[in-house]
Structure 1
Amino acid sequence: MSELNADKAIKKVALIAVFTNILLAVLKVSIGLIFKSMAVLADGIDTSTDILTSSTMLVATLISRRPPDKGHPYGHHKAENIGAKIISFVIFYAGVSLLIESAKRLITGEYEVLMGILPLLAAILSVGGKTFLFLIEYTTGKKYKSNSMVAEAKNMRNDIIMSSLVFVGVALNKIGLAWMDPLVGIVMSGIIIKVAWEVFEENAHDLMDGLRKEEMWIYEKVFEACQKCGAHNPHKVRVRKVGGKFDIDMDIEVDGKMNVKDAHEITKCIKKHLCETKEIYDVVIHVEPEENDEHEPFGLTKESFEKDERKNE
């Protein structure tokens, strides 16, 4: 699948998200102010932050698709992680602000029974709109391995829950439980803060060149390929993510009497086996003679990897 097709698809979804969020934000903020509903207003403010996060996602995605250059030989893929980080901070700020204001209103008794059907209608439209955005963003983000779009989709999933809570809170408010309006605001703020942490933590691994537990299979694939191709003592094995793919560096040992051509064939064999996964960005292999006596403290060996895996079981 070409980078051009990926760019077009991601840009299209991002633009749809921006315009949909603008419509929902205007609707909910207006109704929240007119009917003095803390829950609906809070939902509208949260959607307003989604306009910023969707725009950030679009910019970060476009930057990440730039080809490698002299200053960025590994490309610009980390821009998506940075974009996701910015999104997490915006979500966190919205959550804390909402928590403070909702708690204040609940404690001071600044709430009243809502009138009219428009607050309920706003919540229903919000659930439908956010569900639509979650489906297209999550599907597109996973398909094209866009971290920032997946992060934004998770924010949309959070918004579906919040809009549903708003609907329940407004419905209970209208039957006489006026205090449900600020209480729903407090519950929503907790959900917002939780999602902010999840987005932040998920992208921290990539920015620190780390791998998540579910991605450790790539090391097993490396050691398996080395064994199949006749390489000895794979060590200094280091794997990191470049965009949605794995960048692999390693050292191997071969018979010291082997000629360069035969040693090179072994490295080609290893790369061929690894690239069967179609999730490889690049593989760099350094060849050494067997029993090479050299202090090499970085990366993993098969033994150290298996030892760490046993500890985590």
Structure 2
Amino acid sequence: MSGETVRFGRTELPPKQVEALRRAVRLEWVTIGVLVVTATLVFIVLGSSQAMKAAWSEDLLSFIPPIAFLIAVRLARRPPTTRHPYGFHRSVAVGHLVAAVALTGMGTFLLVDSSINLLRGEHPTIGTVDLFGVTIWLGWLMIAVMAVTGIPPVILGRLKLGLARELHNKVLYADADMNKADWQTSLGTIVGVLGIGVGLWWMDAAAAIFISGSILHDGVSNLRAAVVDLMDARATTFDDNRPHPLAGRVDQYLAGLPWVARAGSRVRDEGHVFHIEAFVVPRRRKVALADIERARQGCVALDWKVQDIVIVPVPRLPDVVDAVTPPGSDA
């Protein structure tokens, strides 16, 4: 992908983002490969442990974010059409929503199921297996599998975080955040299995509840973020921690133009890129079309995420935007 022209809709990605996209796609394919191995190993040693069943369910759910990312990236490259004039960047938000709904639903189911088993006082048992002519407790295999399979996702998650920032991709961030927390699932499962081994049967159900709660927490937080984005809330950073600073940069740039008295904008997150409606209060009654076009081109040059921007001269700014005035201006 290096050296080739890569577009998100109308936007041609800069070289840095092209490389970030290449690495992100590769990491997601690696993640899928790792999950295939992980889910298979966990299934083989599943046994009757509730914690192991919850961990296996989380492995299956972990397929959704990388698949959603790969599909969304492919769709986002399509140019806008008459039917989809804003392009296909919303595929990121749709993928985010699908992953969040799946996590929330499965987390709720596992939490209820694990809680019922705990209240019923069900005592899970872990038998023995013959391995190379040696009889060993199956729990040791469970512990070994969870210890080994819990490491790769954590490494992959940390690698994905920086790429999610570069690409402004919330599905990739959600995937990275889930991967980073996988060590908690592995540790909780190991504790539950050891609990069964020492006769503390309730520790298995408690570990399953902990894992289910972690899945549900991820689902609810991502569901909230996905719904807010689809409702055209003010654009935020990739991790939803604060308003995106690009909106302020656009307003400052426009307010600094000699013919602009005040400026303010509404910024809508389309997935990878932003659609911006910038309102300006001109200093003079008539504004040349060339001035508006130069201002639009200047805004687009600020950042690759400014895919679509319309600049609207108005007598006063709408109440829903934050006004920016030139330094030293009394406007």
What interval of TM-score do these two structures reach, taking the shorter chain for normalisation? 0.7 to 0.9
Partner of 2:267 in structure 1? 239
Question: Contact 1:27/1:122 (CA < 8 Å) preserved in 2?
Answer: yes
CA drift of 1:71 comes to 1.8
Greater alpha carbon shift after TM alignment, 150-159 vs 79-88: 150-159
CA distance in 2, matches of 1:215, 1:176: 51
Q: In the TM superposition, what whole-angstrom CA distance separates every residue of 1:137-195 from its partner, at most 9, and x where no partner exists?
A: 33433332222221222222333321221122223332332210111001111111111
Q: Determine if contact 1:158/1:195 at 8 Å carries over to the other structure.
A: no
Q: Identity over the aligned pairs, expressed in percent?
A: 20
Cα separation, 2, equivalents of 1:106 and 1:259: 72
1:3 aligns with 2:6: yes
Q: Of residues 210, 216, 235 in structure 2, which corresponds to 1:193? A: 216
- Residue 291 of structure 2 aligns with an amino acid whose one-letter code is E
Structure 1: state its 5+ residue gaps: 304-313
How far did 1:24 drift? 0.8
In 2, Cα distance between equivalents of 1:204 and 1:259:
39
Within the alignment, does 1:45 sit opposite 2:57 as a pair?
yes
Contact 2:195 2:203 in 1 (8 A): yes
Q: Which amino acid in the other structure matches residue 278 of structure 2?
A: M
Aligned counterpart, 1:20? 34
1:101 corresponds in structure 2 to: 113
Q: Which residue of 1 aligns with 2:77?
A: 65
Q: Mind listing any 5+ residue stretches in structure 2 that lack a counterpart? A: 8-17, 127-136, 325-331
SS in 1 for 2:150: helix
Count of residue pairs the alignment pairs up: 295
Tell me what 1:308 maps to: none
Which whole-Å deviations, capped at 9, do the CAs of 1:22-49 have from their partners, x for residues lacking one? 111111122113xx21111210122112
The alpha-carbon distance between structure 1 residues 76 and 257, as it changes in their structure 2 partners (threshold 3 A), is closer
* Deviations 1:258-278, CA, capped at 9 Å, x for gaps: 562xx6336625752673345
How far apart, CA to CA, are the structure 2 residues paired with 1:49 and 1:266?
A: 48
**8 Å Cα contact 1:111-1:181 kept in structure 2:** no
Q: CA RMSD in A?
A: 2.9
Please state whether the residue corresponding to 1:47 is helix, strand or coil.
helix
Encode CA deviations 1:193-247: one digit per residue, 9 max, x unaligned.
1110111122223222222362254443344223321244546732112333332
Question: How far is the alpha carbon of 1:118 from its aligned partner?
Answer: 0.4
More helix by share: 1
Partners of 2:124 and 2:117 in 1: CA distance = 11
Q: Which amino acid aligns with 2:145?
A: A
SS in 2 for 1:215: coil
Q: Map 1:109-258; keep pairs closer than 5 Å.
A: 109-112=121-124, 114=126, 115-116=137-138, 117-211=140-234, 212=236, 214-215=242-243, 217-234=245-262, 237-256=265-284
Q: Is the 8 A contact 1:126 1:160 kept in 2?
A: no
Q: What's the TM-score once normalised by structure 2's chain length?
A: 0.78
- Partners of 1:52 and 1:225 lie apart in 2 by 40
For residue 251 of structure 1, give the secondary structure of its aligned residue in structure 2.
Answer: strand
2:65·2:172 contact (CA, 8 Å) conserved in 1?
no
Measured in 2, the distance between the counterparts of 1:59 and 1:259 equals 44
Q: 2: distance between equivalents of 1:204 and 1:74?
A: 19
Report the counterpart of residue 283 of structure 1 in structure 2.
309
| Kept after mapping to 1: 8 A contact 2:90/2:271 | yes
Whole-angstrom distance in 1 between the partners of 2:33 and 2:194: 28
1:26–1:259 Cα change, 3 Å: closer
* Counterpart residue type for residue 185 of structure 2: M
SS at match of 1:55: helix
- Cα distance in 1 for partners of 2:287, 2:219 equals 55
Contact 2:160 2:172 (8 Å CA) reproduced: yes
For 2:287 and 2:32, the matched residues in 1 are separated by 59
Normalised by the size of structure 1, how large is the TM-score?
0.82
Residue 157 to residue 94, structure 1, CA distance change in 2 (3 Å): farther
User: How far apart, in 2, do the equivalents of 1:251 and 1:118 lie?
Assistant: 63
Q: Is the 2:92–2:272 Cα contact (8 Å) retained in structure 1? A: no
Other structure's SS at 2:107 match: helix
Quick one: which amino acid aligns to residue 165 of structure 1? G
SS of the residue corresponding to residue 32 of structure 1 reads: coil
Aligned residues of 2:89 and 2:273 also touching (Cα < 8 A): no
